[in-house]
Amino acid sequence: MQSYLNIVKNILENGTEKADRTGTGVKSVAGVMFEHDMSTGFPLLTTKKMPFKVMAAELEFFIKGLTDKQWLKDRNCHIWDDWCSPDKVPYAHDEETKKKMAEERDLGPIYGFQWRHFNADYKNYDTDYTRQGVDQFKKLINTIKNNPTDRRMMVMAWNPAMLEHMALPPCHYNFQITITGDKLNLMWNQRSVDVALGLPFNISSYALLLHLLAKETGYKEGRLVGFLGDTHIYSNHSEGMKEQLERDPNKYSLPHVETENFTSIFDWEYTDSKIVGYESYDRIKFPIAI
Average pLDDT on 63-86 reads: 97
Q: Name the CATH superfamily for 2-276.
A: Thymidylate synthase/dCMP hydroxymethylase domain (3.30.572.10)
Residue ranges per domain, the chain?
2-276
pLDDT at 254 over 80: yes
Q: Could you give the 3-state DSSP secondary structure of residue 63?
A: helix
Distance CA 160, CA 163 (A): 5
Instruction: List the strands of the sheet with 154-156, edge to edge.
Output: 16-18, 26-37, 220-234, 183-194, 172-180, 154-156
pLDDT at 51 over 80: yes
Could you say which of 1, 57, 77, 171 is catalytic? 171
Please check whether residue 249 is in contact with residue 2, taking contact to mean a CB–CB distance below 8 angstroms. Answer: yes
Distance CA 20, CA 24 (A): 7
The distance from CA 67 to its chain's CA centroid, rounded to whole angstroms, is: 15
Average pLDDT on 157-170 reads: 97
Q: What pLDDT is attached to residue 290?
A: 62
Question: Does 84 participate in catalysis according to the annotation?
Answer: no
